[in-house]
Amino acid sequence: MDQVEFIKQCEGEGIDTWNSVMLLYRAAIRELDTKIQILNEEFKQTHQYNPIEYVKSRVKSPESIVKKLDRYGYEDSIENMVTYCNDIAGMRIVCSFTSDIYRMADMIGRQNDITVISIKDYLRNPKDSGYKSYHMLVTLPIFLSDKVVDTKVEIQIRTIAMDFWASLEHKIYYKFEGNAPEYISKDLRECSGIVSMLDAKMLSLNEAIMEAKAEEIT
């Protein structure tokens, strides 16, 4: 069953229903984290290369959820929360190189018990702000004592440089409450271009190193 069906089986919009839903999100993060670590270890064993630098995860706070629903114009309810807030459970996978991003996305998408709901490729189509990342909205089954609930998680996959830029952009816009002066936005877009050039240069350097090593072996 999906999360909306699960809520309808619970009794009302009370604290018990809230706690049950948040348990699903926390469980989904733990399940996904285990899967990602296994994929990373398998890749490292097979290719002697570690595509993941680090992984971050979080479950949105009640305050953040309410603000998002208000911003979207929806009534504050648990059903609206699970229906319209797709990033309550979020995981960020930070990779070494841009090629690793699509490699990780492919490995995640081929997991039999993960369903990919949607993909937003902000690498090929960056936001106007300069933001770049690869977003996947997925569901994975959470096995409770008497039912299985498909639970949503948003996955963001990006490079170290992209993560650095996005973190600073978030802090800057937070200070201006989302209304940063145009010259700040312009500088951020320019920095995003520099980040892209850095990622491209580092990828090219890594490929050259791999080719040199292969020549040494042969």
The answer to the question of residue 182 being in a domain is no
Put the strands of the sheet holding 134-143 in their side by side order.
52-59, 89-95, 148-159, 134-143, 115-121
41 in active site: no
Asked if pLDDT for residue 8 goes beyond 90, the answer is no
Domain count, the chain: 1
The residue among 2 and 27 whose pLDDT is bigger is 27
Asked if pLDDT for residue 100 goes beyond 80, the answer is yes
Asked if pLDDT for residue 123 goes beyond 90, the answer is yes
Q: Rounded mean pLDDT of 8-31?
A: 86
Domain CATH code at residue 103? 3.30.460.10
The answer to the question of residue 193 being in a domain is no
- Identify the active-site residue in 42, 75, 154, 215: 154
pLDDT band at 157 (very low <50, low <70, confident <90, very high): very high
Q: Rounded mean pLDDT of 2-22?
A: 81
List of residues 6+ apart from 91 with CB closer than 8 A: 29, 32, 33, 36, 55, 56, 57, 153, 154, 155, 156
Range of the domain at 111: 3-162
The answer to the question of residue 114 being in a domain is yes
- The per-residue pLDDT of the chain, averaged, comes to 89
Q: Rounded mean pLDDT of 63-72?
A: 91
Asked if pLDDT for residue 174 goes beyond 80, the answer is no
Strand 89-95, strand 148-159: pairing: parallel
The pTM score is: 0.88
